[in-house]
Amino acid sequence: MNTLTPNDYLLLLAVPLIPLLGYVVQIFFGRNLPRKGDWMLLGGMFIVMCITVYMFFVHAMGHVGPAPFWNESAMTADGPVFRWLYNTSDVPGDQNLIAGILYDGLAAAMLMVVGVVSFLVHLFSSGYMAGDRRYHIFFANISLFTFAMLGLILSDNILFLFVFWELMGFMSYLLIGHFAQDPDSPRIKHAAAACKKAFLTTRVGDTCLFFGMAMFYFLLPREYNDLLAQGAIEGERVISSFRFVDLWTMGGQIVEANNGEYPFWMSVAGLFTFGGTVGKSAQFPLHIWLPDAMEGPTPVSAMIHAATMVAAGVFLLGRMFPMMSPEVLQIVIAVGAFTALFAATIGCTVNDIKGVLAYSTISQLGFMVAAIGTGGLGIVAGLFHMVTHAFFKACLFLSAGSVIHGCHHEQDMQKMGGLRKKMPITFMCMLICTLAIAGMPLFAGYYSKDRIIASVIDSTLTQWRGANVFALVALPLAAMLTTFYMFRLIFLTFFGEPRDQHIHDHAHESPIPMTAALIGLASLGMFGGHFWLAGDPLSNNGTWFTNLVQWQTMYVTSRGGSLDLTSMNMIAVTEHTAHTGHVWAVGVSLSVLALGFFAALWIYGLKKLDPARITSKLGLVYEAVRDKYYVDEAVNGSVIRGTMGLAKGQKWIDENIIDGTVLGVGRLGRGLGTLCAWIDKNIVDGAVNWVGNTTQALGSVARLLQTGRIQQYVSFAVGGALLLAAFHILT
């Protein structure tokens, strides 16, 4: 067991920084480099893969025991930290945001997965994307995406997780829209719409996450300090923090002081946080962006929309699990289980080879979410499924990409068939991973899916709650459909007679970089689950992975906290129920596997039953499933049109009422001015003119007297004098 040293932290810091550096060089100089710079990023990713695998095996894999192998002091004092808001150290901690690295079991596992898958996808892309007119930009973007994903995993606080989370969304936007600027692409318009839809839909979830985050940031320390003042908690006053360890510690003590009850606001905040998962991990009803995102190049679908970015939602759920109240977890189970079944039914009707895989991804993410919701060992199972799913689903997508590449960009399975001989390597890889996703024993998916079903059975046996029971029905059903649609894909693509001779004639196996990547991922799909066996396979305790992801428990106890926070949500599984659950789970898993396989074999392999007959019998039900339950139409009709209506309405208000008022005031002013001008001209000036005119008139009367004759003046003067004299004498 090795505790991380400062040097280890520097090594971890290099993990996201290598692709970032690669991006900067590539975006400015990539076009002029030999081979447009792909070897540089490929080399960088190879180093990243080596570091992540090395760190995983040295630090995480061999780790047992209650003490965390990461230490906090290395993160804050000696290790690399990043002061974000202020660069001065005298700013109090809750004002500044100091980001560090949290390399625990979950991060170790996820980092390894992303490192390996990213390298192989880069390798695959160098063959698949060859000849693309924006080849260097593609590599730059996928490199920056890798940076964001690796940064997200290593973040020790939820705000930086959010920063990388959004950055990934942005890179996903650019990569889905890769063909939206390519005049040669027939689907240029679809790509342009799809990238917008993906970013916007996830943005809804992201905003929820941000709000949940703000709630935890503000209310957690407040509640903690209140309880401290009441004496319910012993300790020191705390300050606001985004760091996971602080959130877990504060949350745990609050719940403990509350007699194990979560405060109501924590449920609200947890629900908002879960909104982030719903958006990013494409859970119902925000799943609508993921099938459209298949407009992006296939390596992008493999990496971002199957193995890494969409798994980030599950990762977040794992990170924030201790903050989720039992009520929220019920919703989590319900959403996850519903999504798993819902998407699996659609997957059975899709004819686009990538479309099948897209719905399959949504469905598998539903499995993970539901499993984490069951708590206890479910969280281990869900996160483990995230690991194995990344391997086999990336492989399935890349195989599909290889098929599409071989068939000259034909994606419709109805036009394929019989490709087994033409593309043997692709066929073998895809078959292996189909067995893995179907849950064939000894393949990777078996270990994780079996655990998920076991944990659902366990939780239902201990707690007879609605969501648990629903999951108990929905998940095995979804698992059966998974096997069915995956083998349907295999039979339609690789077996039978070629349905389009032209495509078949020109089909060819893919070049070496692509097949090499496929073989690498397929072997992980085969053996990637055997890590699970590095303990007692039949026991639910003591496997190394269980230890790895129970970090929060370890953290709280290692700090002297008495609360075992994870176990608050862990259903007390007794030996007996655990054993029962496990035996049942194996039985259920194997029987649904067999059922699904034989159904697919019967209909598509042996063609004993014409699928058209089934669809015609199902009638409207089939149409509803085929049209994806009209969710897109419903969203278009309500949300999109509503928003646009609101926008147009508010625009009208702005132009006519608010600006109208302003213009009205203006017009009123001008009217008043005109009125004043009239008054001024006619009344005020009129009065003045009247005075003038009157004076003039009087003057003209007076003028009559002004004759200029001296005799007249003298006679007036004499007359006047006489009058005065008379007046004087008479009075």
Partner 1 sequence: MDLLNTNPDNLSTLLSWLTFLPLIGMCVVLLLPASNLRAIKITAGVFTFIPLVLATQMYFGTFDKTVSGYQMVQHFEWIKALGINYSVGVDGLSMPLLWLTTILFFIAVPASETVPRLSKAYFVLLLLLELGVLGVFVSLDFFLFYVYWEIMLLPMYFLIGIWGGPQREYAAIKFFLYTLAGSVLMLIAVIALRLDAGTFSIPELVAIGKAGGFTGPALLGMSFTTWVFWFLFVAFAIKIPAFPFHTWLPDAHVQAPTPISVILAGILLKLGGYGLLRGCFPIVPDAFQDFAYVLGILGVIAIVYGAYVALGQSDFKKMVAYSSVSHMGFVLLGMAALTEWGMNGAALQMFTHGISSAACFLVVGVVYDRAHHRDLNGFGGLAQPMPRYWAMATIAFFASLGLPGMAGFVSEALTMVGAFQSQVGWTDEAIASGWMWGPFQWLTLIATIGIVMTAAYILWALQRVFLGTLNEKYADFKDISAREVFSLAPLLVLCIVLGIFPWYILDWMEVSISDLMQILTFAG
Which residues would be at the binding site for partner 1 (CB under 8 A)? 83-88, 91, 95, 159, 162-167, 170, 173-174, 177, 180-181, 183, 188-189, 191-193, 195-196, 199-200, 203-204, 207-208, 210-211, 214-215, 217-219, 222-223, 226, 240, 263, 265, 643-644, 646-648, 650-651, 654, 658-659, 661-662, 666
Shortest distance in whole angstroms from residue 8 CB to partner 1: 24
Mapped onto helix, strand or coil, the DSSP state of residue 243 is: strand
Shortest distance in whole angstroms from residue 228 CB to partner 1: 14
- Strands 98-99, 82-83: pairing kind: antiparallel
Distance between CA atoms of 3 and 558, rounded to whole angstroms? 14
For partner 1, which is the closer residue by CB, 137 or 372?
Answer: 137
Distance between CA atoms of 699 and 258, rounded to whole angstroms? 104
For partner 1, which is the closer residue by CB, 644 or 714?
Answer: 644
Q: At what angle do helices 105-128 and 512-527 cross, to 10 degrees?
A: 150
Shortest distance in whole angstroms from residue 52 CB to partner 1: 23
Which tokens sit at 537? Answer: 């396979």
Secondary structure (DSSP) of 157-215: BHHHHHHHHHHHHHHHHHHHGGGGG-TT-TTHHHHHHHHHHHHHHHHHHHHHHHHHHHH
Alpha helices in 407-443 (DSSP H): 424-438
For partner 1, which is the closer residue by CB, 11 or 167?
Answer: 167
For partner 1, which is the closer residue by CB, 108 or 180?
Answer: 180
For partner 1, which is the closer residue by CB, 54 or 211?
Answer: 211
Q: What share of the chain is helix, strand, coil (3-state, %, to 5)?
A: 75, 0, 20
Exposed e or buried b per residue across 426-446, where buried means at least 16 C-beta atoms within 10 angstroms of its C-beta = bbbbbbbbbbbbbbbeebbbb
Shortest distance in whole angstroms from residue 216 CB to partner 1: 11
- Cβ atoms within 10 A of the Cβ of 683, count? 11
Cα–Cα separations (whole angstroms), residue 663 to 54, 660, 668, 673, 715: 70, 5, 8, 15, 72
Burial grade of 144 (CB within 10 A; 0-12, 13-18, 19 or more): buried
- Cβ atoms within 10 A of the Cβ of 114, count? 27
For partner 1, which is the closer residue by CB, 198 or 340?
Answer: 198
The set of residues, in sequence order, having a beta carbon less than 8 Å from that of 384 and lying 6+ positions away, is 447, 448, 451, 532, 545
Q: ω before 285 within 30° of 0 (cis)?
A: yes
- Cβ atoms within 10 A of the Cβ of 354, count? 25
Shortest distance in whole angstroms from residue 167 CB to partner 1: 5
Shortest distance in whole angstroms from residue 439 CB to partner 1: 38
For partner 1, which is the closer residue by CB, 530 or 651?
Answer: 651
Mapped onto helix, strand or coil, the DSSP state of residue 331 is: helix
Shortest distance in whole angstroms from residue 362 CB to partner 1: 22
Task: Name the phi and psi angles at 212, rounded to 5.
Answer: -60, -40
For partner 1, which is the closer residue by CB, 82 or 630?
Answer: 82
For residue 112, give the nearest of 524, 430, 553 by alpha carbon.
Answer: 524
For partner 1, which is the closer residue by CB, 610 or 659?
Answer: 659
Cα–Cα separations (whole angstroms), residue 456 to 171, 223, 447, 451, 594: 35, 33, 15, 8, 20
For partner 1, which is the closer residue by CB, 24 or 533?
Answer: 24
Shortest distance in whole angstroms from residue 191 CB to partner 1: 8
Shortest distance in whole angstroms from residue 91 CB to partner 1: 7
The set of residues, in sequence order, having a beta carbon less than 8 Å from that of 235 and lying 6+ positions away, is 228, 253
Shortest distance in whole angstroms from residue 320 CB to partner 1: 17
Shortest distance in whole angstroms from residue 530 CB to partner 1: 38
For partner 1, which is the closer residue by CB, 190 or 465?
Answer: 190
The set of residues, in sequence order, having a beta carbon less than 8 Å from that of 276 and lying 6+ positions away, is 165, 205, 206, 208, 209, 212, 313, 316
Which tokens sit at 538? Answer: 């039949």
For partner 1, which is the closer residue by CB, 190 or 499?
Answer: 190
Shortest distance in whole angstroms from residue 129 CB to partner 1: 17
